[in-house]
């Protein structure tokens, strides 16, 4: 109960301010609990951060897993990946901010959590994806020959839609509203690019 409230408040706080910018007292206040409880449950600010990050990562993974079926076709993959990512993130902005900051910090905690979680839960990674991509490459379904580059392209386009907007706006000297239509357009643009650019 209290633990949940702390996690929720912490997610908000870490998203907005990052690990070092976050304030334990602010988290406690948001959660409506005594500051000491936070340490009672999580023993340190950093540990709380890790717990939040763990949730975030598991959320990300579960999104990816959702679309993976053994007979998935490349064309579907290029349609569904951006759609799922962008829809999910547009509703979970904290999520992407936390991940973003984490990645910029060289993913130190991210990697640690992945390691820990693997030890506990066995497979966290959607192991199927690797084989799927390899199949598509061998099948001749797609042009891109490196599974890594392919994955980078997909992920980049999806996640960066939530971060890179100000840069594109500035370059073009325009202002784009971030609404339903914006996301719909991004999804379409990305999946077109992926399909046209990587399908054979």
Partner DNA sequence: TATGAATGAGAGTTCATTCAT
Partner DNA sequence: TATGAATGAACTCTCATTCAT
Residues in contact with its own copies by CB under 8 A are: 17-21, 60, 64, 97, 99-101, 103-104, 106-107, 110-111, 114, 125-127, 129-130, 133, 143-144, 146-153, 155-157, 159-161, 163-174, 176, 185-186, 189-190, 192-198
Q: Which long-range contacts (CB under 8 A, 24 or more apart) does 63-67 make?
A: 63/88, 64/126, 64/129, 65/126
User: Could you say which of its own copies, DNA, none residue 126 binds, taking C-beta under 5 to 8 angstroms by partner kind?
Assistant: its own copies
Phi-psi region of 18 (alpha: psi -120 to 50; beta: other; left: phi over 0): left
Of 42-50, 81-89, 122-130, 131-139, the window that binds DNA (rule: CB under 7 A) is 42-50
User: Measured from the CB atom, is 51 or 153 closer to its own copies?
Assistant: 153
CA quadruple 133, 152, 100, 96: dihedral sign: negative
Q: Is 11 in the site for DNA (CB under 7 A)?
A: no
Closest approach, Cβ 106 to its own copies, in A, equals 8
155 contacts: CB under 8 Å, gap ≥ 6: 85
Q: How far is the CB of 108 from its own copies (least distance, A)?
A: 10
Task: Say how far apart CA 21 and CA 42 lie, in whole Å.
Answer: 18
Question: What is the phi/psi pair of residue 52, to 5°?
Answer: -65, -45
How many helices and strands, by DSSP H and E, does the chain display?
A: 11, 0
- Using CB under 7 A as the binding rule, whether residue 8 contacts DNA is answered as no
Start-to-end CA distance of the chain, whole Å, equals 52
**Binder of DNA out of 29, 34, 76, 178 (CB under 7 A):** 34
Query: Which of 9, 14, 15, 45 is in the footprint of DNA by CB under 7 A?
Result: 45
Residues that bind DNA (CB under 7 A): 1-3, 22-25, 33-37, 39-40, 43-46
């Amino acid at each position: 109960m209290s633990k949940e409230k702390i996690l929720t408040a912490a997610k908000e706080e870490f998203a907005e301010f990052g690990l070092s910018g976050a304030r334990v007292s602010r988290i406690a206040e948001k959660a409506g609990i005594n500051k000491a409880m936070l340490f009672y449950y999580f023993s340190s600010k950093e540990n709380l951060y890790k717990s939040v990050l763990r949730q975030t990562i598991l959320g990300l993974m579960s999104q990816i897993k959702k679309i993976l079926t053994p007979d998935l076709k490349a064309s579907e993959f290029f349609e569904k990946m951006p759609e799922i990512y962008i829809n999910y993130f547009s509703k979970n902005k904290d999520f992407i901010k936390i991940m973003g900051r984490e990645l910029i910090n060289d993913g130190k905690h991210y990697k640690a959590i992945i390691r820990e979680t693997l030890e506990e839960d066995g497979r966290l990674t959607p192991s199927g994806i690797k084989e799927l991509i390899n199949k598509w490459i061998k099948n001749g379904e797609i042009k891109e020959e490196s599974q890594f580059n392919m994955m980078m392209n997909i992920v980049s386009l999806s996640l960066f839609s939530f971060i890179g907007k100000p840069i594109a706006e500035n370059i073009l000297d325009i202002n784009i509203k971030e609404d339903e239509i914006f996301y719909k357009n991004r999804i379409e643009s990305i999946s077109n690019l992926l399909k046209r650019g990587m399908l054979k």
